[in-house]
A and B are shown apart, each in its own frame.
Chain A
Amino acid sequence: EPEVTQTPSHQVTQMGQEVILRCVPISNHLYFYWYRQILGQKVEFLVSFYNNEISEKSEIFDDQFSVERPDGSNFTLKIRSTKLEDSAMYFCASTSTELGNQPQHFGDGTRLSIL
């Protein structure tokens, strides 16, 4: 079964550094999403992306965050200047259409630790 893959599985970064989290969505999917989960808490929506544009973003997704589809397969989340509170598990997801009944398929996540 096709999968969303995320790399790296664990990223350790010094506070203030830039970090890029990478995702390869399912190959025929066109809609992409990032979520984060602070340890022990609920999963929170960050951003959705389609046709090289952000289609929706949350209040968490401020100017420190950006997303990009640099080529035909990758989808990245960049955090420009990391803070301690950015430590979390970051999940990428994808769907083939924008229809609401399509389940979002998640990758295994990247655990980001800010020191």
Chain B
Amino acid sequence: AQKVTQAQTEISVVEKEDVTLDCVYETRDTTYYLFWYKQPPSGELVFLIRRNSFDEQNEISGRYSWNFQKSTSSFNFTITASQVVDSAVYFCALREDSSYKLIFGSGTRLLVRP
């Protein structure tokens, strides 16, 4: 069965620290897609990054980077030099190629303190 686990319920850091959010997924599909979404206090869901199961490279985009490890079924997300505006709930999500639905993890609440 497909599943997304975000073991960290809440993380608190001081501004300018780097922070990594963990995500572990389960799927039987060989082709799948992974996403990170941000939900700020205002409540909307904002797409941040995506990864295809067949992409080998990890990437950096500005202050965001992600580490996709197929061998451990993990898709971790790092914010470098965190800012107060990064405070939000972050959701990892999985979409299998055989389905239209996004399967979300339970989210990690990130608090960045000044």
- CB-CB under 8 A from A109, the residues of chain B are 43-45
Roughly how many angstroms separate A35 CA and B102 CA in the complex, as a whole number? 9
Whether A41 contacts B106 in the complex (CB less than 8 A), given A101-B50, A101-B52, A103-B50, comes out as yes
How many interface residues does chain B have, given as a range?
Answer: 20 to 34
Q: Do the beta carbons of A100 and B95 come within 8 Å of each other? A: yes
Binds B, one of A18-26, A43-51, A62-70, A75-83: A43-51
Q: Which residues of B contact A43 (CB under 8 A)?
A: 45, 91, 93, 102, 104
Per-residue CB contact flags for chain B residues 59-101 toward chain A (1 = under 8 Å, else 0) read 0000000000000000000000000000000010101110111
Q: Given A91-B45, A106-B44, do A33 and B100 touch, yes or no (CB 8 Å)?
A: yes
Q: Which of B1-50 contact A (CB under 8 A)?
A: 31-33, 35, 37, 42-47, 50
Count contacts between A and B, CB distance < 8 Å. 58
Of all chain A residues, the one with the shortest Cβ separation from B91 is A43
Question: Quick check: B43 and A103 within 8 Å, CB to CB?
Answer: no
* Cβ–Cβ < 8 Å partners of B100 in chain A: 31, 33, 48, 55-56, 98
Our pick among B44, B46, B104 for the contact of A42 (Cβ within 8 Å) is B104
Q: A100-B31, A103-B35 are in contact. Are A45 and B43 (CB under 8 A)?
A: no
Q: Which residues of A contact B (CB under 8 A)?
A: 31, 33, 35, 41-45, 48, 55-56, 58, 89, 91, 98, 100-101, 103-109, 111
